[in-house]
Structure 1
Amino acid sequence: MPAKKEIAVIGLGKFGYALAKALADLGHSVVGVDINPEYVRRAQDIIAQAYEADATDEKMLSQIGIKDLDRVIVSTGDSMEASILVVLNLQAAGVKNIWVKAISEAHERVLYKLGVPFVVFPEAFVAAQMANRLTAPGLQEYFGLGKDVAVREIIVDNWIGKTLRDLDLTNKYQVQVIAFRLAGDSEFHFVPQADRALKAGDVLVLLGRTEDIMRVDKF
């Protein structure tokens, strides 16, 4: 089982609330932040802590100890400006593991350029999945290899300068690197080269049994 984590969700609208609830249901400790008092009250019964605060205020983020949490998810509604400001504040506070909900392709590109490791564009993802299912029945079963098969994205940190051949993940952990994304890029590439030196911020996509994938020690 994955270790329980302390996770912040900034923005408790429809997406943020649903994500916070799902994380809490999985047993994680969730800290929610939103400037809307109604959203904060709604979340208080399902998560560990909920703060009514403006996440664009850098001092406020510091006061709630945001940098000490394992993950921070930014889901600030329809304001691209607010989202970017929150990200900059998180980076200034020393937060590294940032996930952000994008509201447009332009927003997504800006976030990657800012060095955000994980960007989620829910509407585009769901639309693409539905289009595939409508036009190619059965495509959603592509990963129907068993209930214990998982895909995991990890950020290169202590593997800087090493190659996939050096890491030998297939033999050490029984997992396969199926794709990668270069630091600062928004597009994934497939069939990674075994002898390319990894750089800080690169993202690797692993495929394997859940237990094996969670054993991979990237730090």
Structure 2
Amino acid sequence: MLNQKKEFVVIGLGRFGSSLCMELTDIGIEVVAIDKDPEKVGEFSSIVSHAVELDAVDEEGLNSVGIRNFDCVVVSIGEDIQASILITLILKEMGIKQVWVKARNHYHQKVLEKIGADRIIHPERDMARRIAHHIGNDKVTDYIEISKSYSIVEIMASDKLAGKTLGELDAFDKYHCKIVAIKKNEDDVSVMPSLNTRIDLNDILVTIGKNKNLDKFEEERV
């Protein structure tokens, strides 16, 4: 049986929603974009699979686009917190399995958690953290938070690491971090490398662990 393509709905075509639609489309995911602004809908009609002019607080309107048939619905309305909360509540009551919501602030997040949002997104905060990690340590090339306590960090190998094997580095026992991939360049990526893998200068080490352990690893080994 062939794998079916994933299908997403994005509600709200502001800066975040627009960017998300374009990125999802670029990687081959079917996207239905919903917004009540006819100009934004017209702009995206040739970009996404289907663009719909609709006020998403209208449950009948959501039913008319077959909202229950999609893998995930992303509510990307950031400015109108009341609408964001109401739409999230409607979607959960309709039985949508995955509802991801952009939160404007901590209080918005707390309400979304209480009404059952499956994932809460803070694009500005997350980008700020990634930039802060990069500024704080120029060997950190990327940073992705996967929970409040765990992250994935891409670290460029310095002189301290060059020439060592992963076994000699012993990141798991010493720092409780796991190096899950080594990137030599865009076309040479070793996933789940063995302990015998030797680290070269400027290799990118894709490392996962608790934030406090990653900080210690960066401080002592990078």
Match in the other structure for 1:198: none
Alpha-carbon distance in 2 for matches of 1:178, 1:92: 36
Larger Rg: 2
Contact 1:108 1:121 in 2 (8 A): no
**Structure 1 ranges of 4+ moved more than 2 A:** 139-150
Cα deviation digits, residues 17-60 of structure 1 (max 9, x gap): 11011111111111010000111011101111111010011111
SS at match of 2:141: helix
The alignment-based identity, stated in percent, is 37
Match in the other structure for 2:92: 91
Contact 1:62 1:93 in 2 (8 A): no
Alpha-carbon distance in 2 for matches of 1:129, 1:140: 9
Match in the other structure for 1:146: 182
Contact 1:73 1:98 in 2 (8 A): yes
When the two structures are superposed, what TM-score results if normalisation uses the length of structure 1? 0.64
Structure 1 unaligned runs (5+)?
151-176, 180-187, 191-219
Structure 2 unaligned runs (5+)?
143-152, 156-180, 184-188, 192-207, 214-222
Matched, 1:78 2:63: no
Alpha-carbon distance in 2 for matches of 1:149, 1:45: 38
Contact 1:8 1:30 in 2 (8 A): yes
Alpha-carbon distance in 2 for matches of 1:60, 1:74: 15
Match in the other structure for 1:118: 119
Match in the other structure for 1:172: none
Matches within 5 A, 1:1-219: 4-140=5-141, 142-143=153-154, 145-146=181-182
Computed over aligned residues only, the root mean square deviation of the Cα atoms, in angstroms, reads 2.5
Contact 1:6 1:30 in 2 (8 A): yes
Contact 2:78 2:103 in 1 (8 A): no
Q: Which amino acid aligns with 1:146?
A: I
CA positional deviation for 1:140: 3.3
Q: Which amino acid aligns with 1:49?
A: H
Alpha-carbon distance in 2 for matches of 1:85, 1:20: 22
Q: Which amino acid aligns with 2:154?
A: F
Q: Say if 1:178 and 1:139 are closer, same or farther in 2 by CA, change over 3 A.
A: closer
Alpha-carbon distance in 2 for matches of 1:72, 1:100: 8
Q: Which amino acid aligns with 1:31?
A: V
CA positional deviation for 1:178: 5.9
Q: In the comparison of the two structures, how many residue pairs are matched? A: 155
CA positional deviation for 1:130: 1.2
Alpha-carbon distance in 1 for matches of 2:74, 2:26: 17
Q: Which amino acid aligns with 1:13?
A: G
